[in-house]
Amino acid sequence: MKISTDYIKTITQTGKEFDSRSHELLIKAGFIDPVASGLYSYLPPGLAVLNKIEDIVRTHMNSLGALEVSLPSLHPKDHWLQTKRWDSFDVLFKVQSRHDKEYGLGPSHEEIVTPLAAKYIQTHKDLPLGLYQIGTKFRDEARAKSGILRGREFRMKDLYSFHADNLDFEEYYKKVIVAYQKIFTELGFEDVKMTEASGGDFTKKFSHEFNVLTEAGEVDLIYCAACDFAQNAEVLTTKLTKCPKCGEEIKEGRAIEIGNIFDLGTRFSDDFKVKFKDEQGRPVSPHMGCYGIGTSRLLGAIVEVNNDKNGIIWPTSVAPFHAHLVNLVRDDSKFADLIYRTLQSEGISVLYDDRSEVSAGEKLVVSDLIGVPIRLLVSDRTGDQVEWKLRIDEKTRMFSVPEVVKHLKDAYVI
């Protein structure tokens, strides 16, 4: 992608105040565009990152054996009346058609997926069944804030599982926890805290939340400095100073919730009268679980924990481009053009700052702001070599073009 013709915009000065670092950087670097409070457009590099995040999530859902579906966002009112959530689900967007039909805009899809699963589940042999989708969700938030960290329309992966009994559900639940941990590690998070939480509107049974520590978060956590103990501070009745698991010091911090998993029991299968025949031929309600990951929120959370004063520092797994090529040769782009074409022909994605009217200083500022992990630079000083620099440090190295190709392929496993 050439910045001169294909990149929509970067903004170094907005004159605006932002309520989170990710909000500011994603707008300035041209990844998202604000439409209204809680509503954003994803521009090409933002969409590229979102797609990479969702591909990683999809890979791990598929390895659980879950089947991908796409469920509608418009939910008929009678489905929500059946679960008695039409009036009680406080953030449900409600819309009315010209023909006096009412719909909810899906914030979650139990009301759609449960009657769907009922059509597949006849006997215990049809279980377990896992159905998931990656799509758009809506929440009528009183106050949207922090950019894509808390929007009114957002992207989410939601998985629903159906089981013959509680034991089978618990085994599946543990497997999902492992899959989630793999996803978060692959996305570059070093320290995701899993907390046990009350199920909110979903269920009174147990549930877990996955949290990333950052000041932009809205969850108060206490956690152990040495082991994996973590808890939501709100639910605590007494103040802890020592970890109940290992006795080490307890710390406090703010966090963003990036995923959650719930034991739904048979609440929704009972509401929709879903039954399967067990081994003795008796009708039984399947045990359900639901498992969410906010993929657009993950994009924001990744930026919250991967930035410096100059801009974003993308983890390689979700970088919008493999390399950012900057041409600083005065009035000549032949060598940079050649590098650009060579890398593209090798399957390497390149953001190429080919602008001739922009100063060297500004090109470097923009490169740091956008945050591609590897910067390639050619100038009057570099001759037939290319200056290679990682976004995360100041060290530079000189490589020939074939060496650049090799090192990029190694870095991204291309």
- Chain residues in the site for Zn ion (CB under 5 A): 224, 226-227, 229, 243, 245-246, 248
**Shortest distance in whole angstroms from residue 208 CB to Zn ion:** 17
Task: Return the DSSP state at 275.
Answer: -
Write phi, then psi, for 34 (nearest 5 degrees): -75, 130
- Residue 128: cis peptide before it, omega within 30 degrees of 0: yes
**Shortest distance in whole angstroms from residue 214 CB to Zn ion:** 21
Q: How far apart are CA 267 and CA 261, in angstroms?
A: 15
Whichever of 64 and 224 has its CB closer to Zn ion, that residue is 224
**Shortest distance in whole angstroms from residue 44 CB to Zn ion:** 44
**Shortest distance in whole angstroms from residue 218 CB to Zn ion:** 24
Q: For residue 84, what are the CA distances in angstroms to 79, 174, 202?
A: 9, 29, 12
Q: How far apart are CA 310 and CA 325, in angstroms?
A: 18
Whichever of 248 and 332 has its CB closer to Zn ion, that residue is 248
Whichever of 246 and 414 has its CB closer to Zn ion, that residue is 246
Token pair of 112 as six digits: 């759609």
Residue whose entry in the numeric block shows the structure tokens 């449900």: 92
Whichever of 49 and 224 has its CB closer to Zn ion, that residue is 224
Q: How far apart are CA 393 and CA 159, in angstroms?
A: 39
Whichever of 53 and 221 has its CB closer to Zn ion, that residue is 221
**Shortest distance in whole angstroms from residue 211 CB to Zn ion:** 16
Q: Is 317 helix (H, G, I), strand (E, B) or coil?
A: helix
Q: How far apart are CA 271 and CA 185, in angstroms?
A: 37
CA dihedral 29, 35, 38, 42 (to 10 degrees): -50
**Shortest distance in whole angstroms from residue 228 CB to Zn ion:** 7
Whichever of 131 and 224 has its CB closer to Zn ion, that residue is 224
Whichever of 204 and 251 has its CB closer to Zn ion, that residue is 251
For residue 75, which of 105, 95, 33 has the smallest C-alpha distance? 105
Beta strands at 102-105 and 74-76: parallel, antiparallel or unpaired: antiparallel
**Shortest distance in whole angstroms from residue 238 CB to Zn ion:** 17
